[in-house]
Amino acid sequence: MSPEVQRRVSLAVRAGEAVTDPADAPAAVELARLAQRRLTERTLPSALRISGGVVLVWLVLVALPVTISSGVHPAALAAGVGVGVLLFSVILLMGRRQLRLARRAEQRNLRLLEDEADDGG
């Protein structure tokens, strides 16, 4: 497959669309399935790692200095946890959106293959 075809297939899958050329549909279905597997495997661990890191950085750079200078501030601690939870939620929502787009691309390209088989058979 040429780089141009790979690019078109990749763009269609990322957008949740079917490819325009039925000959590219099998590659698009395979790419959509691969994307779904990767997203399913990586979204939750990535969200945990990123949001946990942000909470840790917040605690070290904001909450710890405030605590050392003037005592424990529950608001500073809660804000760090809140930022982490918010970031975690945003990452999960973005992952779910990409997963939905990959599923939609798979379904549309499978439908394109079925229509092509019906027309040819």
Question: pLDDT tens-digit profile of 99-110?
Answer: 999 999 999 999
Q: Are 24 and 5 in contact (CB under 8 A)?
A: yes
Looking at the predicted structure, is the pLDDT value of residue 5 above 70?
Answer: yes
For residue 11, what pLDDT is reported? 93
Return the pLDDT at 121. 54
Average pLDDT, the chain: 91
Residue 4 has pLDDT above 70, yes or no: yes
Of the chain, the end-to-end C-alpha distance in Å amounts to 26
| Mean pLDDT within 49-63 | 91
SS3 at position 73? coil
Per-residue pLDDT at 71: 80
Here the tokens at position 83 are 């930022």
Interval 63-78: pLDDT, tens: 888 888 888 788 888 8
Kindly tell me if the per-residue pLDDT of 15 is higher than 70.
yes
User: Rounded distance, CA 103 to CA 94, Å?
Assistant: 14
